[in-house]
Amino acid sequence: MAPRLELHAVLLTICENVYFQPPPTIQMKYPCIVYARDDADTTFAGNRPYGINKRYSVTVIDSNPDSEIPGRVALLPSCVFERFFTADKLNHDVYQLFF
């Protein structure tokens, strides 16, 4: 299985509504997790790329400010909390995750 699809499967164990780079026309169901590729970390050996770790921006969106979903995402390996904000009466917890 491709690494992004593995990540998608992991996120589905945390929340039933998971979206990868959703287009603006999609009607999302909340609570949900939205993620997108964001960056990559390249390791070099002998001046050549040896390994590439893709980084994803993972956002938990929930109307419940005390949701358990952000805490479960935060426990994933190589996951770092980035910021929190509210928009349209929804809470957004944003994480950076190498996978």
CATH of the domain at 9: 3.30.2000.30
Residue 1 binned pLDDT confidence (cut-offs 50, 70, 90): low
Both tokens assigned to 35: 């993620």
Both tokens assigned to 93: 């917890």
Both tokens assigned to 16: 């039933």
Structural domain span for residue 23: 3-98
Residue 2 has pLDDT above 90, yes or no: no
Residue 39 binned pLDDT confidence (cut-offs 50, 70, 90): very high
In sequence order, the 6+-apart residues with CB closer than 8 A to the CB of 57 are: 35, 36, 38, 82, 94, 95, 96, 97
Instruction: Write out pLDDT tens, residues 60-88.
Output: 999 999 999 999 999 999 999 999 999 99
Q: Which amino acid is at 79?
A: C
pTM exceeding the 0.85 threshold for the entire prediction: yes
Q: Number of folded domains in the chain?
A: 1
Helix (H/G/I), strand (E/B), else coil: 74: helix
Tell me the average pLDDT of the chain. 95
CA angle 77, 20, 62 (to 5 degrees): 75
